[in-house]
């Protein structure tokens, strides 16, 4: 089994006020990921997720689409080794 990875992503577009965080949390939990999602002051959404690389790639693909109510314009992502600091996946306020 490969070492857990960490994905950090910034999602821009119409992603606040459309349930993006709720659906992102649901998708991350479905994929067995840990970490968090939060709104940023500039209108974007930030995601930090940890888990196996295949599940993280699926999450990244999902972030590019988002829920039906969202309109994703851009996803910026970076990868690192997992820190292992999270017990589950949550929405941060």
Mean pLDDT throughout 74-87? Answer: 97
Residue 93: the pLDDT is 85
Q: What percentage of the chain has pLDDT greater than the value 70?
A: 99
CA–CA distance, 26 with 33 (Å, rounded to integer): 10
In CATH, the number for domain 5-80 is 3.30.70.100
**DSSP 8-state symbol, 80:** E
Residue 37: the pLDDT is 98
Catalytic residue among 10, 38, 39, 90: 39
Q: Output the six-digit token pair for 17.
A: 């006020």
Residue 25: the pLDDT is 98
List, for residues 6-43, the tens digit of each pLDDT value.
999 999 999 999 999 999 999 999 999 999 999 999 99
- Containing 21, the helix (H) or strand (E) segment is helix 20-30
pLDDT higher than threshold 80 for residue 2 = no
pLDDT higher than threshold 70 for residue 1 = no
Domain borders along the chain are 5-80
Q: How crowded is residue 26: how many other Cβ atoms within 10 Å of its Cβ?
A: 13
Give yes or no: 14 in active site.
no
Give yes or no: 10 in active site.
no
Q: What is the pTM of this model?
A: 0.96
């Amino acid at each position: 089994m490969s070492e857990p990875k960490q994905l950090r992503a910034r999602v821009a577009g119409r992603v606040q006020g459309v349930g993006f965080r709720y659906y992102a949390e649901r998708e991350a939990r479905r994929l067995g990921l840990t970490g968090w999602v939060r709104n940023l002051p500039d209108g974007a959404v930030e995601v930090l997720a940890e888990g196996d690389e295949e599940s993280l790639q699926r999450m990244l693909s999902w972030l590019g689409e988002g829920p039906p109510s969202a309109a994703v314009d851009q996803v910026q992502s970076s990868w690192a080794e997992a820190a292992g600091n999270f017990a589950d996946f949550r929405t941060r306020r």
